[in-house]
Amino acid sequence: MITLEHKKLHASQLSKLYHIFEEQNEEVYKEQVLDYTEKYRDGFVHICFCGHFSAGKSTLINRMMEQELLPQSPIPTSANIVEIKNGAEKAIIHFTNKEFIQFETLPETEKLHALCQDGEEINKIDLYQNIKNMDNRVVIMDTPGIDAADDADRLMTESAIHKVDLFVYVMDYNHVQSEVNALFLKQLEQRNKPFLVVVNQVDKHNEEEIAFQAFKQSLIDVFHTWDIHPTDYFFTSMKEDKAPINEFSRLKQTISSFGNELRNDLFNQSLYQSIQFSVKQSMLKKEQDISAKQRLLHQEMNKMTIPEDLTKEEVEKQLEEVSSIIENLDKQYEGVISPSIKNAQIMTFEHRERAAKLIESMQPSFKAGFFASKKRTEMERDNRLHQLYSELQVSVSEQLEWRLREKATAFISEYYPIAVNDQLFPKLVTKEDMKNLVDSAASYSDEYTLVYSDKLASFIRKQYRHYFLNIWQEVRGNALKPLEKQRNEWKQLYDLLVEKENLQNQINTLDRELESYHDNLNKVFETEHASINESVLLENILQFSKKKQLGTEASLPISQDTKQKKLVTLDTAIKEDANSLSYEQTLKHVDEALNLLEPDSSLTDIRKDLSEKKNRLKNRHYTVALFGAFSAGKSSFANLLIGERLLPVSPNPTTAAINKISPPMNEFSHGDVYVTLKSEDDLLNDMKFITEQEFTSLSECYQWVDKAKLQKLDLEEQHLSFILAFRNGYQTMKGKIGESFLIDFSEFNDYVQKEEKACFVQEIEVFYDCELTRSNITLVDTPGADSVNARHTDLAFSYIKDADAVLFVTYYNHPFSKPDQQFLERLGSVKDAFQLDKMFFIINAVDLANSDNEVELVQDYIQTELQTFQILEPRLYPLSSKEAFTKKKQGNIDERFQLFEKDFYHFIQEELTQISMQAVYHDIKRSYSYITHLLEMLNSDEETKEQQRQKFNQYEDRLIELSEQTDDSLYFERIVQRLQKQRHFMNQRFHIQFGDMFKSVIHPGSISTNGKAGRDELKKSLYFLNRTIHEKMTSELKALHIRIEQEINEAFKHMYEVLNKEVGEEVNDFLFSPIEFFAIEPKNDLNDGIELEEEEILKLSQLFKDTKSFFAEGRRDELQESVYRIVSRRWENTANDVYSEFQTHYKEEWQQRNREWKLKRKQEITSHYNLLRESLEVDQSDKQTYEKIFQSLSNLVQ
């Protein structure tokens, strides 16, 4: 039974709202009022189907209508709103930027579907059809997917649900616990409207994987945890009508009966609630719009580098003066120094007191003491003179000399380099000068003291003036050129001040506009009585609707993006590089070379080096990371790679910990499972991060959690499941915290799936013998990118940097969702720093496709979306892990998976090993060079050999000299410049993004109460802002390290190439061995001290009194400015510290690597020429053997 709060609604209120929104050019809300007016007049009941894109919304509606009105596809189909109404057949097409068109018949199916997909030009389509068993008052709405990668689709959905009376939220069976679902359903909960949850495609359910009741209960439990309470749950399938758990009929009956129930007062109250929600949203939007405008205005003001003490009038005056100065440099310079000379407070009260004592001592009658001698009197005069002189020297240096030196230097340095001497006072003013200024005829008095003080001050000013004018005279000839530049700068400053004044006026106007807007809207609902003629008033409002325009199908302008077209599908197979080396061939060649060189003892060192490089090549270990949204089929794909059902497969987010599948090694045998639990510190940090509580031990933490009423803590929903898992599992796991241990393979699934264990797990490694691990590959299966367990995503991303290959799995029937996009944005921030393109994109579950054309459609869609991340030629593989696994077990070949395996193993064995293979051939060529020299020397006489020996010695010395002289400073200077540039970008990004970060956590949704409760909500939001800023800096530092590490490796590679080129110009038989990529340990513990401190949060929270003054009267903007001033300064300080610390850290790493490489180069040179010198001693009898070796090696090095 539907129950709603009783409220009165009148047409006059709708009329007033319309005119307010019209005056404010609020087109969205103006159109909503027209929708409400039409709904009020006609009594339409709107039932909206929303949810995941490709969850089957359109298919469900088509089935209910018993005809195919809407397009169906595994990629987003409904790009606009479609409303289906019962009535005489017709179609009304509402365009984004022009009047709607009405057709008296429905367009043909193909064109109608194209219109439904044209979200660019068309925002809504009304379809009228005579539909059996559907109330004429009911309107069925189909919406774009709320988790599509295109934000326009999501915004289209959110902007269309204002008039909805019942929501039918449809989700794919494999994505029921998606975070996107939970967040959108929370929004529906806030609307106080009934909503049904429909889990579609339950034909995918496998009772062997998870019992249906357990699956259903897990969904209910998660929604309960998130405080989401649907009116009812339905489980449906459009493929298997007679499936035992298909509740389509019950769903259809529930929707049909809803229209009959929502009548009269209940209908009016539902509509009133919708209108009130729109009004509140319009207020929030207005506030956000104005805040955004003001923020932009403030940002523009903050960009202006204007001294705070300068006014527009002062700058205008300066501009005029500069123009005048161009004609008279002397006056200009004098204008710079004169104010400081004139305004300098030279003779203070204390100085005048000293001057008085000096004047007194200069009187003829002055004596030092009653019985003072002449000598003592002179000493007293000198002492008084010295005291005045010393104090004046200090004072003048501080009050005048320092300022003059700074101003003169600043002024003159613009035109000519100069350094003004310090300690000028003794050169310009002497004690004798001060004595001579005393008038011997004057008598000692207060009046004369003032006269003397003025004379002394004037003298000092005159001396300094004369000195600094002389400095100017020496350089004035060079000064004219920069003056035009200076005048331009003053002009620019004046223009900035005018612009700043204009910006401030705009800000003030916006404040008044917001206050007026709120007042006008609040007055609308003060109307207590209905209009005398409601129907007339309703029609007057609706006359503002756009006029009809009859049209034909040929007149429909369908966007080029929605016309039938075939995208150019790139050949994603691995491209063979003509210069690339073959792994198998390299192994074959190295074995041949080792066999050839075995008889010659002189080649023992080369054979040893060659053997070591062969072993490194053959035994290299690879890490492959598996990513993707949960239930995209990651684990089933991993099982396909492994060849066994090793990892649990379920539509619930099972992968709650990092799972590593590694080859058996050393003490670990096939089937061993090694679990590493988090340390106590790690868990305490997790709990502190979530709860903002400090705990001294896990025991104390558990007691707090056990006693706490978690639902009242107002924790983020994403963290609540972790807290519950910790509480439920602590007693069992507490004795093993921080330990690593082997478990029985039968326990593996519990540690993977059950959160009460998994939340304590750092990592699980399964040692398993299979085709994958026999290639020395460790597979890392990560948590789903959109699981409701918030910690999952953070765990997963840490593996991206060090993985040799990244496999990203997306779901065929739900490709490239919003969580996919968010993950790839993070990946895209560092992908350009990867040495190779190591990403493979898997479209799983293509067995759900109806045709090959549909598979191609999905592939083209994902390829197009990936281009937005600058992934222009992705390795893209559509396949079905389910079908491929079955075929693999049957001994059959799955062509799609075979193509992936071929490319994947080629990448692992061929592309990743190129440097290692180059090193192998480097040593084979060394052997060949040695044998070549050896054969040349066999027929030589002793004199020739001696000449050759001397030449070898010269070459060796020259190459060592060349190696030692290699200048690496320029390369590292470029690294420092890149680091400095990145620091600038870090600051820029923070300044640009701070406003969005602030408003994402401090908004009417997070602060909804007044007084102390509201302040508490604000404090909590500020704590969350701290966390957001901390995470932002952490992410910046991680990305920075990856970029700089790659820069350093690229620099060494370039040095290697340059050095080899220089060596090649000296000798033709030697090159340094290739440099392999090396990892650099990141610099940690630098992300501290940015966030607001406890006392600052308490003080800032006092800005909040109530929501109206906070959001409507500018208090939030004031808070934003205050927080920004604090944290922006700290952010920049941290960025500066990072720059300094990173520069030191990377310099140490650079120097260490350079020392090691320099030593290795010398060893290679010495080893090479030692070998060549030994070739001079070879016996003539071995010539035939060496000729055979030479011939065989010739074939290998060609």
What pLDDT digit, counting tens, does each position of 257-268 carry?
887 777 777 788
1063 pLDDT band (50/70/90 cuts)?
A: confident
Q: What was the pLDDT predicted at 548?
A: 45
Higher pLDDT, 778 or 408: 778
Q: Hey, what are 134's tokens?
A: 């559907």
Higher pLDDT, 135 or 370: 135
In this predicted structure, the answer to whether residue 269 has a pLDDT above a threshold of 50 is yes
CB atoms inside a 10 Å sphere around CB 706: 10
The interaxial angle of helices 1115-1175 and 914-938, nearest 10 deg, is: 20
6 pLDDT band (50/70/90 cuts)?
A: very low
In this predicted structure, the answer to whether residue 711 has a pLDDT above a threshold of 70 is no
Average pLDDT value for residue range 919-925: 82
Q: What was the pLDDT predicted at 234?
A: 92
Q: What was the pLDDT predicted at 896?
A: 92
CA distance 861 to 758: 36
The interaxial angle of helices 11-23 and 264-303, nearest 10 deg, is: 20
Q: Hey, what are 142's tokens?
A: 């189909």
1082 pLDDT band (50/70/90 cuts)?
A: confident
In this predicted structure, the answer to whether residue 147 has a pLDDT above a threshold of 70 is no
Do you know the residue count of the chain? Answer: 1198
Residue 550, beta-bridge partner list: 102
804 pLDDT band (50/70/90 cuts)?
A: confident
DSSP letter at 243 equals -
CA distance 1180 to 422: 83
Q: Which residues contact 384 (CB under 8 A, 6 or more apart)?
A: 354, 357, 358, 361
CA distance 1113 to 35: 31
CA distance 967 to 957: 18
Which of 504-508, 565-569, 860-864, 1078-1082 bottoms out in mean pLDDT, i.e. has the lowest? 565-569
Average pLDDT value for residue range 542-569: 49
Q: What was the pLDDT predicted at 2?
A: 40
In this predicted structure, the answer to whether residue 1006 has a pLDDT above a threshold of 50 is yes
For the chain, domains (ranges, CATH) are: 10-42+272-303+508-553 (no CATH), 44-264 (3.40.50.300), 312-481 (no CATH), 583-613+917-1197 (no CATH), 621-663+768-911 (3.40.50.300), 665-767 (no CATH)
CA distance 1052 to 412: 45
H/E element, 913? none
Q: What are the tens digits of pLDDT across the range 370-416?
A: 666 788 888 888 898 888 888 888 888 888 888 888 888 888 877 77
CA distance 410 to 1046: 42
Buried b or exposed e, range 1121-1151, using 16+ CB within 10 angstroms: bebbebbbebbbebbeebbeebbebbeebbe
Do the Cβ atoms of 78 and 148 come closer than 8 Å? no
Q: Hey, what are 658's tokens?
A: 């990092």
Higher pLDDT, 364 or 565: 364
Angle at 116 between CA 115 and CA 118, to 5 degrees: 60
CA distance 511 to 519: 13
Distances (CA, A) of 611 to 323, 453, 617, 1189: 79, 93, 10, 18
Pairing mode of beta strands 622-628, 777-781? parallel
In this predicted structure, the answer to whether residue 726 has a pLDDT above a threshold of 90 is no
Share of the chain above pLDDT 90, in %: 5
Average pLDDT value for residue range 271-299: 80
In this predicted structure, the answer to whether residue 1094 has a pLDDT above a threshold of 50 is yes
Angle at 926 between CA 923 and CA 927, to 5 degrees: 95
C-alpha dihedral (854, 855, 860, 866), degrees to nearest 10 = 130
CA distance 291 to 294: 5
Does the CA dihedral 822-828-829-833 come out positive or negative? positive
* Cβ neighbourhood burial of 397 (10 Å; 0-12, 13-18, 19+): middle
Angle at 172 between CA 166 and CA 173, to 5 degrees: 115
Do the Cβ atoms of 841 and 877 come closer than 8 Å? yes
Q: Hey, what are 968's tokens?
A: 């690496």
Average pLDDT value for residue range 433-457: 85
Higher pLDDT, 1022 or 4: 1022
Does the CA dihedral 683-684-688-689 come out positive or negative? negative
In this predicted structure, the answer to whether residue 347 has a pLDDT above a threshold of 80 is yes
103 pLDDT band (50/70/90 cuts)?
A: confident
Distances (CA, A) of 179 to 185, 691, 819: 10, 20, 9
Share of the chain above pLDDT 70, in %: 84
In this predicted structure, the answer to whether residue 899 has a pLDDT above a threshold of 90 is yes
Task: Give me the sheet containing 673-677, strands edge to edge.
Answer: 740-743, 673-677, 761-767, 659-662, 777-781, 622-628, 805-811, 839-844, 875-878
CB atoms inside a 10 Å sphere around CB 967: 7
pTM above 0.75, yes or no: no
820 pLDDT band (50/70/90 cuts)?
A: low
Pairing mode of beta strands 166-172, 195-200? parallel
**Long-range contacts, stretch 931-935, CB < 8 angstroms, 24+ apart:** 931/1186, 931/1189, 931/1190, 931/1193, 932/1069, 932/1190, 933/1069, 933/1172, 933/1175, 934/1175, 934/1178, 934/1186, 935/1183, 935/1186, 935/1187, 935/1190
Q: What are the tens digits of pLDDT across the range 451-495?
A: 888 888 889 889 888 988 888 787 776 766 667 777 787 888 888
CA distance 845 to 637: 10
271 pLDDT band (50/70/90 cuts)?
A: confident
In this predicted structure, the answer to whether residue 7 has a pLDDT above a threshold of 80 is no
Do the Cβ atoms of 843 and 879 come closer than 8 Å? yes
Distances (CA, A) of 381 to 33, 429, 447: 95, 18, 21
Q: What was the pLDDT predicted at 564?
A: 38
Q: Which residues contact 1054 (CB under 8 A, 6 or more apart)?
A: 971
Q: Hey, what are 408's tokens?
A: 């003169």
Higher pLDDT, 45 or 422: 45
Do the Cβ atoms of 433 and 459 come closer than 8 Å? yes
In this predicted structure, the answer to whether residue 60 has a pLDDT above a threshold of 80 is yes
CA distance 687 to 679: 13
C-alpha dihedral (908, 912, 916, 920), degrees to nearest 10 = 60
> Which three-class secondary structure state does DSSP give residue 398?
helix
CB atoms inside a 10 Å sphere around CB 615: 11
Average pLDDT value for residue range 810-838: 64
- Mean predicted lDDT score pLDDT of the chain: 79
In this predicted structure, the answer to whether residue 794 has a pLDDT above a threshold of 50 is no
Gyration radius from the chain CA atoms: 41
> Which three-class secondary structure state does DSSP give residue 843?
strand
Do the Cβ atoms of 187 and 228 come closer than 8 Å? no
Do the Cβ atoms of 329 and 486 come closer than 8 Å? no
784 pLDDT band (50/70/90 cuts)?
A: low
Q: What was the pLDDT predicted at 817?
A: 58
> Which three-class secondary structure state does DSSP give residue 979?
helix
Q: Hey, what are 600's tokens?
A: 């010659």
CA distance 933 to 948: 10
* Cβ neighbourhood burial of 862 (10 Å; 0-12, 13-18, 19+): buried
Which of 110-114, 553-557, 777-781 bottoms out in mean pLDDT, i.e. has the lowest? 553-557
Q: Hey, what are 923's tokens?
A: 């040593």
Does the CA dihedral 618-619-620-625 come out positive or negative? positive
Average pLDDT value for residue range 142-160: 57
Do the Cβ atoms of 299 and 369 come closer than 8 Å? no
Q: What is the DSSP string of 171-207?
A: EEGGGTTBHHHHHHHHHHHHTT--EEEEEE-GGG--T
Distances (CA, A) of 40 to 15, 44, 193, 350, 534: 12, 8, 17, 86, 11
In this predicted structure, the answer to whether residue 914 has a pLDDT above a threshold of 90 is no
Average pLDDT value for residue range 651-680: 80
In this predicted structure, the answer to whether residue 1128 has a pLDDT above a threshold of 70 is yes
